[in-house]
Amino acid sequence: MSAITVGQAVVLGIVEGVTEFLPVSSTGHLKITEGLMGIPVDDTSVVGFTAVIQVGAIAAVLLYFLKDIVRIVSAWGRGLVNREERYRHDYKFAWWVVYATIPIVVVGLAAKPLIKGPLASLWVVAGSLIVGSGVMWAADQIGRHKRGEDDTSFKDAMIVGSAQILALLFPGFSRSGATMSAGLALDLDRVAATRLSFFLGIPALTGAGLYELKDALGAGVGTAPLIVGTAVSFAVAYASIAWLLKYVAKHSFNAFVVYRIAIGVILFGLLGSGVLSS
């Protein structure tokens, strides 16, 4: 029998799609939802399932930014054979995405026992939601929001890419929240910080999903829940991306800060009262 039913896969797909690119922690929300549905959050097959349905969200961001991705990849290809093309921003940016992914890959492999062990606790999720909120608020307040996407540098990409490590080690911190906060602290405007977060997340999240696929298929999760969860995640994530980019163009991140604190406090209450187990 599958560890996750098709009905549960639909719910988890919706949660993943809504939260993957919002700075509210998709991992945290998935763990909370799994806990409320009685799904063991530390089960190998469940961990694998949640990683795989992320591929649906990644497919959504690939489709949404397809023109940008084609432009960047084309510039990279031209630069490999034409020295003059190597001075163009798109060519350099393609390499920056590669370099900025290395830190999270190294840490992810080295710290895998911790990530899948004690750091997977819902107590860690609750604390990270609240602490991450403070970081996001401070970054949004301190940042001068004066630099656009064309002003990004290798240093920006490395710092923002490395910020993903915080979410990797502390589920609840939020990959999007960590990377967007880093971008804001570097004086990028909110749209530029958000788009950079999207681009830098593509390799890391795609790699994680493919790496966990064997566990999801071989440890008790049926094919149907995987397909349904991934498809739902894709559709919902596409709508979420479109909404977020319009939102950050006119609003601060304060609403996300308040929401994260509220969810963190509620989660502490559910854990403390025994409604949820860590």
The reported pLDDT for the residue numbered 94 is 95
The reported pLDDT for the residue numbered 223 is 82
The reported pLDDT for the residue numbered 217 is 61
Any idea what DSSP says for residue 88?
A: S
- Please determine, for residue 85, whether its predicted confidence score (pLDDT) is greater than 70: yes
188 φ/ψ angles, rounded to the nearest 5 degrees? -70, 150
Between 270 and 136, name the one with better pLDDT: 136
pLDDT tier for residue 91 given thresholds of 50, 70 and 90: very high
Residues present in the chain in total: 278
DSSP for 261-272?
HHHHHHHHHHHH
Domain boundaries, the chain: 6-273
Computed over every residue of the chain, the mean pLDDT equals: 89
The reported pLDDT for the residue numbered 186 is 96
The owner of tokens 């989660």 is 267
Task: Return the minimum-mean-pLDDT range out of 87-91, 214-218, 247-251.
Answer: 214-218
Q: From CA 196, how far away is CA 180, in angstroms rounded?
A: 8
Most confident of 86-90, 108-112, 201-205: 86-90
Arithmetic mean of pLDDT, 141-160: 93
Q: Token digits for 160?
A: 């923002």
The reported pLDDT for the residue numbered 212 is 67
Give 181-240 pLDDT, tens digit per residue. 999 999 999 999 999 999 998 888 777 777 766 666 655 677 888 899 999 999 999 999
207-242 core/surface letters (b: 16 or more CB in 10 A; e: else): bbbebbbebbbebbbbeebbebbbbbbbebbbebbe
Give 25-58 pLDDT, tens digit per residue. 887 788 788 888 888 766 777 777 887 888 899 8
Tell me the β-bridge partners of 147: 188
Residues near 194 by beta carbon (within 8 Å), at least 6 away in sequence: 180, 183, 244, 245, 248
The reported pLDDT for the residue numbered 25 is 86
Long-range contacts of 162-169 (CB under 8 A, 24+ apart): 162/100, 162/103, 162/104, 164/103, 164/104, 164/200, 164/201, 164/204, 165/103, 165/104, 165/107, 166/132, 167/25, 167/27, 168/104, 168/107, 168/108, 168/111, 168/115, 169/107, 169/111, 169/114, 169/115, 169/119
Residues near 122 by beta carbon (within 8 Å), at least 6 away in sequence: 31, 32, 35, 41, 267, 271, 276, 277, 278
